[in-house]
Amino acid sequence: MKNIVILISGTGSNMAAIVHAAEQQDWERRLGARVAAVVSNRADAKGLAFAREHGIATEVLDHKACASREAFDAQLAQVIDRHAPALVVLAGFMRILTPGFVARYAGRLLNIHPSLLPAFPGLHTHQRAIEAGCQFAGCTVHQVTAELDVGPIVAQAVVPVLAGETAEQLAARVLTQEHLIYPRAIGQLLSKQ
């Protein structure tokens, strides 16, 4: 079985989209894959309840309880490795990962970013796109590397920037596309494994 471990920090809407796709498209039968666990660095992450309701193992590892970023990542790797992951999927996991952690899961670590990378890595992507006068925005699924938001691109979706649109409105429209392309990209990667 190809196990997927999803890391979240909040509501987990992308995680939920992945879980729904796995259920609706019967990934277990078709791809020999399943979402095995959802791990959060925050005990109050709302996505944990969703995962539990869908029979998915959940774990919490508080980054504030660790002495360093390296110590947290080492403990996180131990939690993840208990589930023997084929893929580790970042879905709103608001932590910058250490190079050692990224190297451990090289080729198996995915992220989704709310811009058309390489444009606007980091935070506040929608506001930055509007301020730059972009006609298009979007989202990118990419492999994670030690450098933030620059890994090989797996999939992208484009959304037009509408006249007078706020960053919040653009973010909502981009999120709709995230929920479509992330599960699709994961399914395609799993079908090649």
Q: Report the catalytic residues.
A: 113
Q: Which two tokens stand for residue 170?
A: 């653009």
Residues with Cβ within 8 Å of 169's Cβ and at least 6 positions away in sequence, in order, are 162
Cβ contact 117:150 at 8 Å: yes
- Judged by DSSP in three states, 36 sits in strand
Closest of 114, 76, 69, 118 to residue 96, by C-alpha: 69
Strand-pairing partners, residue 60, are 40
User: What string of DSSP letters covers 83-145?
Assistant: T-EEEEEESS---PPPHHHHHHTTTTEEEEESS-TTSS-SS-HHHHHHHTT-SEEEEEEEE--
